[in-house]
């Protein structure tokens, strides 16, 4: 079996005879294995072959498929290998065709619409011109009326009531003329845009385009007639997938109905512009990266140099984001993971039903799996980042498959409320979702910096940081809020952070990451104040902060 496209025959008569003997074969796409940047397409179908050589042509194949990956094989209906028959050759044949997209009736319909809109625009322009002239005429009448009133007043004939009545009539006529001008201008603008749209549509419909189409030519050799299962495999670029999730939160009205639950659904979002439509196919989503490990890393020399120690220590503040793979996992620095994060192990996720994926470059979703789990709701406040109290749900991944990193559509109360994202979540791992701010809660954060007086014999300077949080509950129901504040952590000896627990609410202490947490209960229409105070001391050799 040859996996390379064969060269065209030098004898036209032989080529024509081979094409005439070929039979059209319907070999639909049965399964597609999607990778990050390509797709493995599998076509399957039954084929009737006679004794000797049989040729078949499969039309509407992707013209961008990789010729080196093209292969075909015969199987029996029960899956056993075939003896006495084999695929002798399979190759891809491409050709350019000219497609005239316009149809005579469509062109005539567009021309009639453009003519009708053009006539309407001409009539509106005439009405617009007349309305403009009437408005100018009314302006001249008003000016003349004022001149006559001034003349009459100079001769002692004062009739203010008549002048006011006449000017009011002219003013009403002017307002009516201006309204008519505005309506006519809007209609003219709409007609202009419609004419431009029809012009572009007519140009597109009348355009003759060249398109590359491809078909497979398959030769099968058999000793005796039979019916077999034919399978064709190939790789195509122009296709990719990413995980997508949907979370729906249900909150029972009564406590006896149980706690809140979360319905979580995982989907695979597919984009493809391969030139062939996949109809009623089984999708398999793979996280395998075929290109990884093909090139060794570049080795560079690591040169060590001795430099003189600087007398002044340059220090800068650094914000480090703490991320975990799941609740309770080890913390790691934030990093952008290219492609799909599968936790280091290649996965294959099979769509729960067959779907249609058109070659239009648009997103198409296929369901993978779903589960329902209990959820715990908390209200959290990170006022340093955002002075809003966020509703957070904590739940467990009850699926047998991991949740891949990707966006999550949030549904609450029967409607879409926003979108968030998750990292890789292993089966049985707890994870969190944010559901947006609580409209009944308000927070205000204030920071006051005060420099302590420096002693003449000391080389240390200190700055007192006083953080004040004011919380308000505007709702008629009590709320519990988990408030978090951050205290800096020093990594050098010449910078010290001292927490004043006496002037900090409830004497709270920070954890290993420098985060202080309070659990605040706010009653209906209640207010609360929290305070945090710490001192930053630095040596005279330190600069930058």
Cα atoms in the Cβ-side hemisphere of radius 13 Å centred on 161: 0
Domain extents in the chain: 28-101+210-236, 106-204, 243-291+310-375+395-434, 441-543
Listed in sequence order, the residues at least 6 apart from 294 whose beta carbon sits closer than 8 Å to its beta carbon are: none
28-101+210-236 folds as: Immunoglobulin-like (2.60.40)
pLDDT score, position 20? 44
Distance between CA atoms of residues 87 and 53, nearest Å:
10
Distance between CA atoms of residues 445 and 469, nearest Å:
5
* Cα dist from 530 to 111, 350, 443, 486, 516, whole Å: 72, 51, 11, 13, 12
Distance between CA atoms of residues 290 and 283, nearest Å:
18
Q: pTM here?
A: 0.65
Distance between CA atoms of residues 174 and 139, nearest Å:
8
pLDDT score, position 226? 87
28-101+210-236 against 441-543: fold identical? yes
Instruction: Pick out the chain residues at pLDDT < 70.
Output: 1-20, 78-80, 98-104, 204-210, 254-257, 291-295, 309-339, 455-456
The two tokens of residue 13 are 């008569």
Distance between CA atoms of residues 27 and 35, nearest Å:
23
pLDDT score, position 380? 94
Question: Which phi and psi angles does 192 have, rounded to 5°?
Answer: -65, -45
CB atoms within 10 A of CB 417: 13
Listed in sequence order, the residues at least 6 apart from 511 whose beta carbon sits closer than 8 Å to its beta carbon are: 517
Give the residue from 109, 108, 111 showing the smallest Cα distance to 119: 111
Cα–Cα–Cα angle for 269, 271, 272, rounded to 5 degrees: 145
Structural element, H or E, at residue 214: strand 208-222
The two tokens of residue 189 are 């603008």
- Classify residue 380 by burial, with Cβ atoms within 10 Å: 0-12, 13-18, 19+: middle
Residues pairing with 441 in the sheet: 473
441-543 folds as: Immunoglobulin-like (2.60.40)
Which residue shows structure tokens 């009944």? 440
Question: 403 and 431 in contact (C-beta within 8 Å)?
Answer: yes
Distance between CA atoms of residues 37 and 337, nearest Å:
15
Question: 140 and 170 in contact (C-beta within 8 Å)?
Answer: no
Question: What SS3 state is found at 488?
Answer: coil
DSSP 96-163: EEEEE---HHHHHHHHHHHHHHHHHHHHHHHHHHHHHHHHHHHHHHHHHHHHHHHHHHHTT---HHHH
Listed in sequence order, the residues at least 6 apart from 510 whose beta carbon sits closer than 8 Å to its beta carbon are: 486, 487, 499, 516
DSSP for residue 404: P
CB atoms within 10 A of CB 390: 19
106-147 pLDDT tens trace:
777 888 888 888 888 888 888 888 888 888 888 888 888 888
DSSP for residue 388: S
Tallying the residues shown for the chain, one arrives at: 545
18-67 pLDDT tens trace:
444 778 899 999 999 999 889 999 999 999 888 889 999 999 999 999 99
Distance between CA atoms of residues 146 and 140, nearest Å:
10
pLDDT score, position 55? 92
Structural element, H or E, at residue 13: helix 12-21
pLDDT score, position 534? 93
Distance between CA atoms of residues 52 and 522, nearest Å:
86
Give the residue from 482, 325, 326 showing the smallest Cα distance to 396: 326
């Amino acid at each position: 079996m040859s996996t390379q496209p064969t060269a065209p025959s030098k004898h036209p008569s032989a080529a024509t005879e081979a094409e005439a003997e070929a039979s059209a074969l319907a070999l639909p796409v049965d399964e597609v294995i999607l990778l990050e940047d390509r797709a493995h397409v599998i076509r399957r179908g039954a084929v009737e072959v006679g004794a000797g050589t049989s040729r078949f042509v499969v039309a509407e194949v992707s013209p961008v498929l990789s010729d080196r990956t093209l292969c075909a094989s015969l199987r029996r209906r029960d899956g056993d290998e075939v003896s006495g028959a084999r695929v002798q050759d399979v190759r891809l044949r491409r050709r350019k065709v000219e497609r005239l997209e316009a149809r005579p009736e469509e062109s005539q319909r567009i021309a009639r619409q453009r003519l009708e809109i053009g006539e309407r625009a001409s009539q509106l322009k005439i009405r617009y011109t007349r309305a403009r002239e009437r408005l100018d005429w009314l302006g001249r009448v008003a000016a003349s009326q004022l001149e006559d009133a001034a003349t009459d007043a100079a001769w002692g004939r004062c009739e203010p009531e008549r002048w006011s009545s006449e000017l009011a009539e002219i003013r009403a006529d002017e307002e009516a003329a201006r309204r008519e001008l505005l309506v006519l201008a809007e209609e003219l603008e709409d007609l202009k845009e419609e004419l431009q749209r029809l012009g572009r549509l007519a140009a597109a419909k009348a355009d003759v385009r060249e398109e590359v189409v491809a078909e497979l030519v398959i030769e099968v050799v058999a000793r005796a007639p039979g019916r077999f299962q034919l399978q064709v495999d190939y790789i195509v670029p122009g296709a990719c997938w990413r995980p997508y999730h949907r979370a729906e939160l249900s909150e029972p009205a009564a406590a006896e109905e149980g706690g809140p639950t979360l319905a979580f659904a995982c989907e695979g979002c597919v984009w493809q512009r391969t030139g062939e439509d996949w109809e009623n196919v089984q999708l398999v989503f793979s996280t395998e990266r075929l290109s990884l490990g093909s090139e060794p890393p570049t080795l560079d020399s690591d040169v060590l140099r001795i430099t003189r120690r600087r007398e002044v220590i340059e220090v800068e503040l650094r914000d480090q984001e703490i991320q975990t793979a799941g609740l309770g996992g080890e913390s790691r620095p934030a990093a952008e993971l290219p492609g799909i994060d599968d936790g280091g192990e290649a996965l294959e996720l099979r769509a729960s039903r067959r779907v249609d994926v058109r070659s239009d470059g648009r997103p198409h979703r296929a369901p993978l799996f779903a589960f329902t789990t209990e959820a715990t709701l908390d209200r959290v406040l990170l006022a340093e980042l955002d002075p809003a109290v966020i509703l957070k749900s904590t739940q467990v991944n009850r699926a047998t498959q991991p949740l891949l990193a990707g966006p999550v559509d949030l549904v609450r109360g029967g409607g879409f409320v926003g979108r968030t994202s998750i990292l890789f979540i292993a089966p049985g791992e707890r994870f969190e979702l944010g559901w947006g701010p609580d409209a009944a809660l308000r927070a205000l954060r204030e920071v006051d910096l005060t420099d302590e007086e420096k002693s003449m014999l000391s080389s240390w300077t200190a700055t007192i940081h006083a953080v004040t949080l004011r919380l308000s509950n505007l709702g008629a129901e009590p709320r519990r809020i988990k408030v978090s504040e951050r205290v800096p952590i020093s990594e050098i000896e010449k910078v010290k952070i001292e927490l004043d627990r006496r002037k900090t609410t409830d004497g709270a202490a920070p954890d290993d990451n420098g985060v202080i947490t309070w659990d605040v209960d706010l009653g209906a229409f209640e207010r609360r104040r929290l305070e945090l105070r710490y001192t930053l001391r630095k040596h005279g050799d330190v600069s930058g902060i």
